[in-house]
Amino acid sequence: MEIYKNPTAPIASRVEDLLQRMTLEEKVGQTNQLVGVEHFRHNLGVMNAGDLFRNTAQAIYVGCEPEDLEAWTQQGRVGSFLHVNTIEEANRLQHLAMQSRLAVPLLFGIDAIHGNAYCRDNTVYPGNLGLACSFNVELARRIARQTAAEMRAMNMHWTFNPNVEVARDARWGRCGETYGEDCYLVTRMGVATVEGLQGKLDSEADVMACAKHWVGGSLPENGTNGSPADMSERTLRTTFFPPFKAAVDAGVATVMPSHNELNGVPCHSNRWLMTDVLRGEWGFDGFVVSDWMDIEHVHDLHGTAETVEDAYRQSITAGMDMHMHGPGWVDAVCQLVRDGVISEERIDESVRRILTMKFRLGLFEHPYADEAKTMQVRLCQEHRRTALEAARQSIVLLKNSGLLPLDAKRVGKILVTGINANDENIMGDWSAQQRAENVITVLDGVRSLASEDAEVMYVDQGWDPRNMNPAMVERAAQAAREADVNIVVAGEYMMRWRWHDRTCGEDTDRSDIDLVGLQNELIERVAASGKPTVLVLINGRPLGIERVAGKVSAIVEAWESGMCGGQAIAEILFGKVNPSAKLSITIPHSVGQLRSYYDHKPSMYFHPYVCAPSEPLFPFGYGLSYTQYAYSNLSLSGEIDADGNGQIDVAVTVANTGKRDGVEIVQLYIRDEYSTFTRPVKELKDFARVELKAGGKKRVHFILTADKLAMLDGNFAPVVEPGGFVVMVGSSSRDCDLLKSRFVVKKK
């Protein structure tokens, strides 16, 4: 038997054995990713080359037929597919690959961003931004593990997740894919997700993760996706690099560069990012996959390569391993090698990295998934329970003037209205259409939890915020007068299958962050009824709701809460669940406050705005509960010296002084009082979810170590400078919610 076919041979030997059998075309074929045949077939006749240039979700290959893709697969000229959405297609294409000369299996990559939601009949968990509001790292790990299981049950091996960018501009439509604005929280959630997805990356339960987008795209000029990022190396290394570094340390298998240029160099041809930092400094040993046609954009958009071929050269020499996506790559790259422009050794490096992953995933031994068993895993009860639990933990109660929780026995008439009241949009971006019976809308949830005697009135506002009907707004305003309580479910529209109708999500950036369409009017008219009104928001970015925030009695920020979201929201409205989530991202008053984030530098609001507040509407870390918590006795013990030795034990007593059991998310921030380089007014360094019975209290401990105090010196090496540090512990990033104490790092 050939060594590469021997499952007991060491992976490195299998890779070398296979590599030396491959022709140049077969090698480059391994670096070639294409969109799925059915995806392509569906777009034939719908798209043209011009559409392809701008569309980052749908593709066709001009001049090709679906059969060409199949033939190339059989010829060993394709290493991976993306956007294959069914197990049948995955198995079928795999079967073709297994007929190729060397029978090298395909890798199927998919954007399983919150569950394998991009494919039908999978569990749709809450989106990342909402999930981060749970501050529940173990929950993120569990969801990732379950997602991996559902993916492998469909013969999918690789998700383009987690997005570990630090979101810094609410205009950017992709905030919802991230874990929010804080580097530490993003890092913790990102690492748990990588670990959950990958396991040890050595079994059929594991899939490859992809840390993306590397880097700067979450701080785009003007907030538009893919626009230039221009920032200092200090900012990059302090705020934007750490989640990627941590993902690499956690063994992430792949990294995807971002669309944008960074400081004048497109990320897709950026040697500093892809090779010097990633591999040289951090020891990354997985492979780099390009984002959607972004190597081509080095030529046709950024204009730093005169030809596509030169863009390929630049990208490969800078460290690119796999091309997403397109039919011209294989021949062009082979020619570059034949012309001596790129060495074959360089191609070998990439192929080695890709093959190593295929062996680790066990694809040579198990290239298929069992179609008869697939539904035993997908959407199973355990996964649905996790999706519900995650939704409960992700929903943030922002305002409550005593209205919530609603007493199901006492509310006779409930009005439910708003564009998101009864729509699958609650699942969030990166969800395909799912069967209606698998999606619980807010209306479903309210109906199931309201008492049998209650009347639930529903006034349909359609799903499309840009095309709301004034007559239906009027009808809701009238119905509100008859109701005991009104629930308006507003927000954004994110469903990808109506790509041009969305208001939030990828390539859906906004120049303001207000509610779109007649939504403000709807809320105002309903609230003007004088009957108590709850505003529920479903959205993937912070919304500037200042116009209506003062007019409603309660605000529930539900984010993209997944297929069980409606049930979790209703449980919170009716008090079956006590909300515990805290904001993973600041909610500004308006677009004019952007960029708005809690860990700003000391001088940021030295001169505050006139005519408008400088503080945000709701700060990072903020969220209400149906009970109250009291913090006391913050104490510090131990010491840390400037050599980095020692540790500080931070302890605080947290008491549940209200009448309901709850979970409080206790947050620890530090501030370096004086430092060589400026540092933020606060930096989150730890958090804990603390369960507290009504009337109960606990002493909560955190350990501060030197790495948490460190800043980067002039050479970007971590250093702990002597001097005072303030420790702040409490229920949000807001000063009035924090107890403070101080310690001193002594000179050496």
Residues belonging to the active site? 291
State how far Cα 408 lies from the chain centre.
Answer: 35
Strands (E), 641-722: 646-656, 662-672, 683-692, 697-705, 711-712, 718-719
CB 57, min distance to ligand BGC, A: 6
CA angle 412, 416, 418 (to 5 degrees): 165
Among positions 13-52, residues that touch ligand BGC (CB under 6 A) are none
Query: Looking at beta carbons only, is 33 or 434 nearer to ligand BGC?
Result: 33
Cβ proximity to ligand BGC: between 56 and 657 the closer is 56
Binding mask 487-506 for ligand BGC (x = CB under 6 A): -------------------x
- What separation, in Å, do the N-terminal and C-terminal C-alpha atoms of the chain show? 63
Binding residues among 614-653 for ligand BGC as defined by CB under 6 A: none
Q: Which is nearer to ligand BGC, 111 or 560 (CB)?
A: 111
Q: Which of 195/506 has CB closer to ligand BGC?
A: 506
Residue among 40, 72, 160, 184 that touches ligand BGC (CB under 6 A): 160
Q: Which of 179, 184, 284, 292 binds ligand BGC (CB under 6 A)?
A: 292
Shortest Cβ 302–ligand BGC spacing (Å): 16
Distance of closest approach, residue 292 Cβ to ligand BGC, in angstroms: 4
Quickly list DSSP for 76-120: T---EEE---SHHHHHHHHHHHHTSTT-PPPEEEE--SSSSTTSS
CB-count burial class (<10 Å; 0-12, 13-18, 19+) for 471: exposed
Question: Distance between CA atoms of 204 and 467, rounded to whole angstroms?
Answer: 46
Return the number of other C-beta atoms located less than 10 Å from residue 436's C-beta: 9
- 254 forms beta bridges with 210, 287
Closest by Cα among 7, 2, 3, 1 to 367? 7
Task: Name the CA radius of gyration of the chain, rounded.
Answer: 26
Task: Give me the phi and psi of 195, to 5 degrees please.
Answer: -65, -40
Place of tokens 């984002």: 291
Q: Which is nearer to ligand BGC, 69 or 411 (CB)?
A: 69
Q: Is the CB of 244 or the CB of 292 nearer to ligand BGC?
A: 292
State which of residues 291, 429, 444, 599 lies at the interface with ligand BGC (CB under 6 A).
291
Least distance in angstroms from the C-beta of 159 to ligand BGC: 9
Shortest Å, Cβ 260 to ligand BGC: 11
Within 215-254, the residues that bind ligand BGC by CB under 6 A are none
Residues 103-132 that bind ligand BGC (CB under 6 A): 111
Burial 671-700 (b: 16+ CB within 10 A, else e): bbeeeeeebbbbbbbbbbbbebeeeebbeb
Q: Which is nearer to ligand BGC, 111 or 321 (CB)?
A: 111
Q: Decide if 60 contacts 47 (C-beta within 8 A).
A: yes
Q: Which two tokens stand for residue 145?
A: 């593990």
Scan residues 447-476 and list those touching ligand BGC (CB under 6 A). Answer: none
Total residues at interface with ligand BGC (CB under 6 A): 8
Residue closer to ligand BGC, measured from CB, 36 or 532: 36
> Structure tokens of 585?
């991202």
User: Of 260 and 393, which CB lies nearer to ligand BGC in the complex structure?
Assistant: 260
* C-alpha to C-alpha distance for 688 and 624, rounded to whole angstroms: 16
Minimal distance in Å, beta carbon 293 to ligand BGC? 8
Contact (Cβ atoms closer than 8 angstroms) between residue 255 and residue 212? yes
Omega before 405 within 30 of 0, i.e. cis: yes
Q: State how far the Cα of 241 lies from the Cα of 511, in Å rounded to an integer.
A: 27
Does position 58 interact with ligand BGC (CB under 6 A)? The reply is no
Nearer to ligand BGC, 59 or 745 (CB): 59
The answer to whether 212 contacts ligand BGC (rule: CB under 6 A) is: yes
**String of DSSP letters for 115-174:** SSTTSSSS--PPPHHHHHTTT-HHHHHHHHHHHHHHHHTTT--EE---B------TTSTT
Shortest approach of ligand BGC to residue 155 CB, angstroms? 18
Pick the closest to residue 393 from 143, 53, 738 (CA basis). 143
Q: Least distance (Å) from ligand BGC to the CB of residue 201?
A: 19
> Using the rule CB under 6 A, is 296 a contact of ligand BGC?
no
Q: How far is CA 203 from CA 12, 142, 207, 563, 740, in A?
A: 17, 17, 9, 28, 47
Name the minimum Å distance from CB 7 to ligand BGC.
31
Residue 56 within binding range of ligand BGC, rule CB under 6 A: yes
CB-CB neighbours of 97 under 10 Å: 25
Minimum Å gap between C-beta 42 and ligand BGC is 15
Build a one-symbol-per-residue string for 61-100: x at contacts with ligand BGC by CB under 6 A, - elsewhere. ---------------------x------------------
**Residue 598 engages ligand BGC in binding (rule: CB under 6 A):** no
Q: State the Cα–Cα distance between residues 658 and 705, nearest whole angstrom.
A: 34
Give every CB contact of residue 255 below 8 A, 6+ residues apart in sequence: 210, 211, 212, 214, 244, 247, 248, 274, 278, 284, 286, 287, 288, 289
Binding site for ligand BGC (CB under 6 A): 56, 82, 111, 160, 212, 291-292, 506
